[in-house]
């Protein structure tokens, strides 16, 4: 009633169903899926030991953790028209994530990404300790945010000039074939330097929400750029808005949602926390800026899951999921893995 008297507006309570519990459910399912894939991969790597007689299938989903290889596979496919079969699942996981970004902006980061989910958990833990959300000053936030774009620019600078032949040589190289195992060894045989870096990332992420995602993740930088071209944006109705600021307070990316008519930001991950926080009906919502039609959170959630599982499922059905590296070749390469370089 206070806002009503101050603004002389008739306030209709927002009765739209909250979407955060659905987002959390989707995040949890995908996080558990990643943990399952990680466990399968652990058994697979151990089966490569000369002392092991067990034959364990490699989980193809682990290719999702090789985004650089996936980007090179995509560029090779565009140039040659052929799909490289060393890490084909990584290619289709990458394509599905890009498709999700076109549909719903940078939503992969807040709905599906396991690192994003863990980062949220760490941030929630940090806010319980400090009792508040720490915000980096704008004069420091801007240059720090540029770091992930510099990393992305470096990878694009290194990859895009490569010819189809150069890409094929790398993609079929022993290094790329065991890139997943090398990534695994980095964590299970972590060096002191690596441990210190991860510890620092954990500490920073505890006190600065989404530190890795906001400042250092080149994957997030790419998806944020692609997401700018998504037609669906968070839109605010300034007529019915009561200027309570709850939307801006709820935004994990510190976007001033209450100050703009439409959110156009590479940092918006379409988590819909701001929409859920808005107390007034039809004041903050998703809108297709081309058709002017509104979209509910449930439709967004369903679309994200359907697009991701649809594209990866198609890859499975068409035989572009499992790679062509034999168990014998894996065993041979595993014995000399420390000698294999770029």
Q: How far apart are CA 124 and CA 209, in angstroms?
A: 8
Task: Give me the percent of the chain exceeding a pLDDT of 90.
Answer: 87
Question: Tokens 């028209």 identify what position?
Answer: 81
Neighbouring CB atoms inside 10 A of 189's CB total 9
Q: Is the pLDDT of residue 95 over 80?
A: yes
Q: What is the pTM of this model?
A: 0.92
DSSP assigned state of 77: H
Q: What is the mean pLDDT of residues 310-325?
A: 97
pLDDT at 15: 59
**pLDDT tens string 34-79:** 999 999 999 999 999 887 767 789 999 999 999 999 999 999 999 9
Cα dihedral sign for 256, 261, 267, 268? positive
Q: What is the mean pLDDT of residues 267-285?
A: 96
Range of the domain at 17: 2-339
Q: Is the pLDDT of residue 28 over 90?
A: yes
pLDDT at 133: 80
**pLDDT tens string 119-143:** 999 999 999 988 888 889 999 999 9
Report the candidate in 231, 232, 268, 223 with the shortest Cα–Cα distance to residue 250: 268
Contact of 214 with 267, CB cutoff 8 Å: yes
| Domains in the chain, number | 1
According to DSSP, the β-strands at 294-295 and 284-288 are antiparallel
């Amino acid at each position: 009633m206070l806002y009503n008297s101050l603004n002389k507006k008739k306030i209709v309570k927002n009765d739209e169903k909250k979407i955060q519990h659905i987002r959390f459910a989707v995040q949890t399912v995908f996080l558990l899926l990643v943990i399952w894939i990680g466990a399968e991969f652990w058994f697979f790597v151990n089966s490569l030991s000369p002392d092991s007689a067990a034959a364990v299938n490699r989980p193809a989903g682990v290719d999702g953790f090789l985004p650089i290889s996936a980007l090179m596979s995509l560029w090779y496919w565009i140039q040659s028209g052929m799909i490289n079969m060393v890490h084909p699942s990584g290619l289709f996981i990458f394509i599905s994530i890009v498709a999700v970004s076109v549909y719903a902006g940078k939503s992969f980061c807040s709905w599906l990404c396991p690192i994003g989910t863990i980062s949220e958990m760490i941030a929630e833990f940090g806010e319980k300790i400090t009792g508040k959300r720490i915000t980096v000053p704008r004069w420091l936030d801007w240059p720090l945010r540029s770091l992930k774009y510099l990393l992305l620019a470096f990878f694009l600078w290194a990859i895009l000039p490569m010819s189809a032949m150069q890409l094929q040589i790398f993609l079929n190289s022993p290094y790329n074939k065991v890139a997943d195992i090398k990534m695994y060894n980095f964590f299970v045989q972590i060096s002191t330097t690596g441990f210190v870096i991860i510890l620092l990332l954990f500490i920073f992420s505890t006190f600065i929400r989404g530190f890795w995602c906001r400042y250092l993740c080149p994957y997030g930088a790419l998806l944020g750029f692609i997401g700018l071209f998504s037609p669906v944006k968070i839109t605010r109705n300034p007529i019915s808005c009561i200027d309570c600021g709850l939307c801006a307070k709820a935004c994990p990316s510190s976007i001033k949602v209450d100050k703009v008519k439409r959110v156009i930001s590479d940092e918006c991950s379409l988590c819909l926390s701001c929409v859920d926080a808005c107390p007034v009906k039809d004041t903050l919502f998703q809108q297709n800026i081309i058709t002017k039609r509104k979209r509910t959170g449930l439709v967004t959630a369903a679309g994200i899951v359907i697009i991701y599982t649809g594209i990866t499922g198609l890859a499975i059905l068409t035989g572009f999921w499992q790679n062509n590296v034999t168990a014998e070749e894996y065993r041979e390469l595993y014995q000399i893995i420390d000698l294999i370089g770029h």
